């Protein structure tokens, strides 16, 4: 005879109603067997009503709605621009809610530091959703490579065609993404793979390429170096993701992954585990702060060189 699991579901509220919330976060949270989607907050009442109705939960709006959703939740997930996310994450931590944040945590070091310090002070768990760290296929590959010594160099390329001529992606309407470009949008993904495998970044050089493209040269604490190319304006035929490692054991490339919703479910599982055990996840708010420090330094260098 097996004993039924009596662990209550983790009540997670969702802040945001845009494409990322609609396409990924709300469906993943609503379908997760260990989660109760405790509500959806949006700046536009009609958007919050529609998304909440689609997933059988309650809609919240306005300043008072934020407080009400925090009160009804054990944790909150964010589908908001980073510099809107950061102060609300501080507010959520101060209310005792665990944090499931999108990358980047903020686009300023001060904003990201405030989140990390608030989470630490409140003793709440936190996870920053860097897709490749949570998709089953890629997270397993990262762990396997991190356990191997002797890496010599790496090459990471993440090029999207969000702003290419003829693009119809609804994510292209994001003002923060257009303003900050590929460095801030997809840079966290690439760094979240390279750092656990090659070690922390001890020296960084950045230069601007065409449109919003940024090139990075990194030296890591392991002694390995890596190059990174990031952008959202590549021609469709040039778009794609490649991460390749070269070392004593030869060459290996990151595998494909199933999709964002599956990866986000993995991040939900990671947050639940951190809540249960009290052991911080490697991709927590402190790691989110570290990524912001690196990206801000790269942005400053690229702008100065340009």
Q: What is the pLDDT of residue 5?
A: 60
Q: What is the pLDDT of residue 161?
A: 94
Dihedral of alpha carbons 180, 186, 189, 190, sign: negative
Cβ atoms of residues 265 and 149 within 8 Å: no
Question: What is the tens place of the pLDDT at every residue in 87-138?
Answer: 999 999 999 999 999 999 999 999 999 999 999 999 999 999 999 999 999 9
Q: What is the pLDDT of residue 1?
A: 42
Q: How far apart are alpha carbons 36 and 50 in whole angstroms?
A: 18
Q: What is the pLDDT of residue 153?
A: 98
Question: What is the tens place of the pLDDT at every residue in 128-147?
Answer: 999 999 999 999 999 999 99
Cβ atoms of residues 114 and 101 within 8 Å: no
Phi, psi of 81 (to 5 degrees): -55, 145
Query: Which of 255, 182, 185, 191 minimizes the C-alpha distance to 220?
Result: 191
Query: Which of 44, 78, 40, 32 minimizes the C-alpha distance to 56?
Result: 40
HSE (CB half, 13 Å, CA atoms) of 169? 17
DSSP lists the bridge partners of residue 206 as 216
Q: How far apart are alpha carbons 214 and 198 in whole angstroms?
A: 21
Q: How far apart are alpha carbons 206 and 15 in whole angstroms?
A: 33
Query: Which of 124, 83, 125, 123 minimizes the C-alpha distance to 102?
Result: 83
Q: Token pair of 160, please?
A: 């999207």
Q: How far apart are alpha carbons 151 and 251 in whole angstroms?
A: 9
Q: Which residue has the tokens 């994001």?
A: 174
Name the stretches of the chain with pLDDT < 70: 1-6, 306
């Amino acid at each position: 005879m097996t004993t039924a699991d009596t662990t209550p579901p983790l009540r997670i509220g969702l802040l945001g109603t845009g494409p990322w919330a609609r396409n990924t976060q709300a469906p993943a949270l609503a379908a997760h067997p260990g989660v109760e989607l405790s509500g959806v907050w949006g700046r536009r009442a009609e958007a919050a009503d529609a998304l909440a109705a689609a997933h059988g939960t309650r809609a919240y709006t306005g300043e008072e709605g934020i407080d009400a959703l925090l009160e009804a939740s054990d944790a909150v997930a964010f589908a908001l621009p980073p510099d809107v996310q950061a102060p609300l994450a501080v507010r959520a931590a101060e209310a005792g809610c665990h944090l499931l944040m999108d990358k980047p945590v903020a686009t300023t070091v001060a904003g990201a530091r405030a989140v990390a310090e608030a989470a630490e002070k409140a003793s709440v768990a936190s996870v920053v959703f860097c897709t490749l760290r949570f998709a089953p296929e890629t997270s397993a590959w990262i762990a396997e490579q991190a356990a191997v010594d002797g890496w010599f160099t790496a090459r990471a390329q993440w090029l999207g065609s969000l702003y290419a001529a003829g693009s119809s992606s609804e994510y292209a309407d994001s003002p923060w993404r257009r303003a900050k470009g590929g460095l801030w949008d997809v840079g966290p993904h690439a760094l979240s793979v390279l750092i656990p495998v090659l070690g922390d970044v001890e020296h960084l050089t950045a230069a601007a390429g065409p449109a919003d493209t940024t090139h990075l040269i990194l030296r890591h604490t392991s002694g390995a170096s890596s190059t990174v190319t990031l952008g959202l304006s590549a021609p469709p035929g040039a778009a794609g993701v490649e991460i390749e490692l070269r070392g004593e054991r030869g060459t290996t490339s990151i595998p494909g992954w199933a999709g964002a919703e599956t990866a986000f479910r993995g991040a939900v599982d990671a947050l639940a585990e951190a809540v249960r055990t009290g052991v911080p996840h490697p991709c927590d708010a402190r790691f989110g702060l570290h990524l912001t420090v690196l990206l801000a330094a790269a942005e400053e260098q690229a702008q100065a060189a340009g």
